[in-house]
Structure 1
Amino acid sequence: MSHQARYMLVSLPTSISPTNDRDEAFTALQSTVSSDFGTVSPFSIPEFKIGTLDALVQQADELAKLDAACEGVIGKVGDSLRSILGGDESKLNQQKRVAEKPVDQYLRSFIWNKVKYRADKPIAELIDALQKEISSIDNDVRSKYNQYNQVKTNLVALQRKQTGNLSTRSLAQLVDPSVMIQGSEYLETHLVAVPSQAVKDFYKSYETVSSMVVPRSCISITSDDEYTLFAVTTFKKYSQEFIHNCRERRWTPRDYTYREGGREEELREVDRLSREERKLWGETLRLGHTGWSEAVMVWAHVLVLRVFVETVLRYGLPLSFVCGLIKTSPKFAKKTKDALDASYSYLGGNAFGRDKKGRVKRDDSAVSEMAAVGHGDGGEYNAFVFYEFEIN
């Protein structure tokens, strides 16, 4: 079997057994799924308050939407965890636990949380509570993840300024204030990063780049592998012309104003952001771990309600059914479903028949009618209550 598990929740009426017995019905379900394809475990479904038929049909629709929302939130939280763990799948798998259990163990030992979701409450109230909870999980994790990303982005930008080339890096650590004309009413010093291959041309032409460049004012401040940083003085009236014409020649004017203590302030800011980034990384990881666990638990409860509501709609009252959790793999999922169809397609009435070779075939017109009144999963009608899902 593939390392990636695929799960199926199946609800069947106890009438599949000759004696209408729950244990016999579950044994029949187990015998339907080959041990080569998957394993079947009992799955506990409480009895809930059953309202009107119209209410059940509406709740089936609401639960289908909530099911998709839960799956989406689990995926987003998982992506957040993957991002902050640098894509390390082994570390990611350590974080993806439900109530501190492996996912498979949680599902196989699932018990409805009667403290958080009292089964004696109307189904509509339970749906509302689950909707609010999955929305809260989504908002909390997304907010913290965005906060972490913002600080990380700011830190990376600041670190890049410390280590980039002279066209982008911070100049606070490089420029001696003595090269800058400060407080003059008429003159202004400009810093220009010139590509290494253009340095000779710069020396020859900087005085004529614009009007009123102070002759011989060029000072070479520092160089790296790609650029040389120069200081040039112009009359303020022609500063914009000088800056514009530098850009035209693909020299990079650098916007810089000397501030006393600016070097130390930059270093302190890098240190502050580094500490904040580490702190938020830990908080985001913990919240992602908790959020993923709680989102899976909400989803499991939503699936339970889906099974229950669909079971009532499909099999009617009085309720007498068994529910099983099938664990299989993407490779064997179709064979598992085919085995279930072969054994229980008769529950679909006119919607399913058999061809001359005894193989199950669908009556598309009857299937369309059944799907239209809500007896289906995402528009696909099955002869019995059936939900297939993966938790990634």
Structure 2
Amino acid sequence: MAKYVLISLPSTFESLKATIADNGTVVPFNIPNFKIGTLDALVQQADDLAKLDSACQALVAKVGDSLRTLYDGDEQKASEHKIVNDKPTDQYLRSFSWNTVRYRADKPVGELFSGLQKDLVTTDNDVKGKLNQYNQAKTNLTALQRKQTGNLSTKSLTPIIDPSVLIQDSEYLETHLIAVPTNLRKDFIKSYETLAERVVPRSAVELAHDDEFVLYAVTTFKKNGADFQQKCREQKWTPRQYKYVEGGKEEEKRELERVAREEKKVWGEALRMVHTGWSESVMIWAHVMALRVFVESVLRYGLPLEFVPALVVTNPKLAKKVKTALDTAYSYLGGNAVGRDKRGKITKDDAALTSEIAAAGVGGHGEGNEYTAYVYYEFEL
């Protein structure tokens, strides 16, 4: 899996490449010069953008999971369809440029933030709505399929029951269908007649059986039917509700076919929506990170705007070496806040100050929100 490091430094692009060396590929991450408001506004925007960054990351992860689910857990197939603006995700990030048509760069940072936040919520709702629709269609199909393929305690009895075995027009008698676990069939035959009052003697007829259950028809007087069924439940025998309907078998088959077609149709719609959701959520996240890098860079490096934003494409193993190389070359930017010993750990005298700065959300962060002397964000896709 690729690991990305988004950095900003008051340096040159060539110097950054030399610092990273063979630990990753460094590409420009083009960010416009946005309108800068007051210092107080920038500090608040840095906080707001950090929260929006987390929301973007969560949505991207959720959409990625949904993509894998729709492809039945096929990670490779899901990865092949992670396209952003008609480009593979990695290529989109490597060639990132601000979408000035959708998010005009001449607008204030606060306005851009609101637009990005609104688009994220819309994308989340669109994906969630279509996935809920698909999950309902899948649940409906699964329920119908279970009726066709389950055991005799749950499956549809329509294809099994011959209506001639049912008492249908009697004023006093009625037929009960009881699914009895195979290992309890002897107990059933021995005791069903005395389970309740007015059970017709020797009325039990075996209608069907499978590996788990035997289905019996039993006749009782109507007034005692409810009591008989309750006593069956107490014995772990399952009364089955069934009413003969003319043409029911054919209707059940048509319903299964209809629901299967609906599930397939909604699956296609959900897949298209999730593809769009991936493209949108990654695109929004990239723009949020770009805006965040800009705001953090202004807060950290001040004016005039002389910082170089770049994207480092690496892997989890080499990412630590990238961080170490950057710390070695640029820790001076943090002054005393990042004094380190020979092992690279923050010195004790400065640890409290560093914690305060990190808690305030100033600058970048590595794993565990560790304070860095420069703008630094790690992420994976």
Q: So what's the TM-score if we normalise by structure 2?
A: 0.95
Question: Does 2:380 align with 1:390?
Answer: yes
> Of the candidates 251, 265, 269, which is equivalent to residue 279 of structure 1?
265
- RMSD of aligned C-alpha atoms? 1.6
Q: Deviations over 1:189-212 (max 9, x none)?
A: 100012223323322322111111
Alpha-carbon offset, residue 183 of structure 1: 3.5
Partner SS state of residue 311, structure 2: strand
Higher mean Cα deviation, 56-65 or 225-234?
225-234
Paired position in structure 2 for 1:166 = 152
Alpha-carbon offset, residue 303 of structure 1: 0.3
> Of the candidates 320, 337, 346, which is equivalent to residue 361 of structure 1?
346
Higher mean Cα deviation, 144-153 or 218-227?
218-227
Aligned pair count reads: 376
Question: Does 2:178 align with 1:192?
Answer: yes
Alpha-carbon offset, residue 360 of structure 1: 6.5
Question: Does 2:7 align with 1:6?
Answer: no
In 2, the alpha carbon distance for the partners of 1:199 and 1:235 equals 23
Alpha-carbon offset, residue 376 of structure 1: 4.0
CA 1:156/1:359 → structure 2, altered by over 3 Å: closer, same or farther? closer
> Of the candidates 156, 173, 181, which is equivalent to residue 142 of structure 2?
156
Aligned 8 A contact 1:191 1:232 in 2? yes
Aligned 8 A contact 1:11 1:307 in 2? yes
Paired position in structure 2 for 1:116 = 102
In 2, the alpha carbon distance for the partners of 1:92 and 1:56 equals 38
Partner SS state of residue 45, structure 1: coil
Aligned 8 A contact 2:26 2:313 in 1? yes
Paired position in structure 2 for 1:22 = none
AA aligned to 1:270 is L
Q: So what's the TM-score if we normalise by structure 1?
A: 0.92
In 2, the alpha carbon distance for the partners of 1:373 and 1:142 equals 34
Question: What residue ranges of structure 1 are gaps of 5+ in the alignment?
Answer: 15-24
CA 1:374/1:220 → structure 2, altered by over 3 Å: closer, same or farther? closer
Aligned 8 A contact 2:19 2:325 in 1? yes
Structure 2 matches for 1:69-88, cutoff 5 A?
Answer: 69-88=55-74
Paired position in structure 1 for 2:17 = 30
Question: Does 2:193 align with 1:207?
Answer: yes
CA 1:149/1:354 → structure 2, altered by over 3 Å: closer, same or farther? closer
CA 1:11/1:235 → structure 2, altered by over 3 Å: closer, same or farther? same
Aligned 8 A contact 1:341 1:360 in 2? no
Q: Deviations over 1:108-149 (max 9, x none)?
A: 111100000000111111111111111111111111111111
Structure 2 matches for 1:55-94, cutoff 5 A?
Answer: 55-94=41-80
Alpha-carbon offset, residue 354 of structure 1: 4.3
In 2, the alpha carbon distance for the partners of 1:341 and 1:308 equals 20
Paired position in structure 2 for 1:320 = 306
Partner SS state of residue 386, structure 1: strand
Higher mean Cα deviation, 261-270 or 299-308?
261-270
AA aligned to 2:183 is Q
AA aligned to 2:346 is K
Paired position in structure 1 for 2:213 = 227
Question: Does 2:260 align with 1:270?
Answer: no
Percent identity, aligned pairs only, is 63
Partner SS state of residue 8, structure 2: strand
Higher mean Cα deviation, 189-198 or 42-51?
189-198
Q: Deviations over 1:192-250 (max 9, x none)?
A: 01222332332232211111101222222122222221111111221122111112222
Structure 2 matches for 1:294-309, cutoff 5 A?
Answer: 294-309=280-295
Alpha-carbon offset, residue 302 of structure 1: 0.2
Partner SS state of residue 361, structure 1: coil
In 1, the alpha carbon distance for the partners of 2:345 and 2:175 equals 85
Aligned 8 A contact 1:370 1:381 in 2? yes
AA aligned to 2:10 is P
Paired position in structure 1 for 2:227 = 241
Alpha-carbon offset, residue 380 of structure 1: 3.0
Partner SS state of residue 33, structure 1: helix
Aligned 8 A contact 1:342 1:360 in 2? no
In 1, the alpha carbon distance for the partners of 2:42 and 2:159 equals 70
Question: What residue ranges of structure 2 are gaps of 5+ in the alignment?
Answer: none
> Of the candidates 293, 297, 321, which is equivalent to residue 311 of structure 1?
297
Alpha-carbon offset, residue 283 of structure 1: 0.9
Partner SS state of residue 331, structure 1: helix
AA aligned to 2:179 is A
Aligned 8 A contact 1:96 1:292 in 2? yes
AA aligned to 2:6 is L
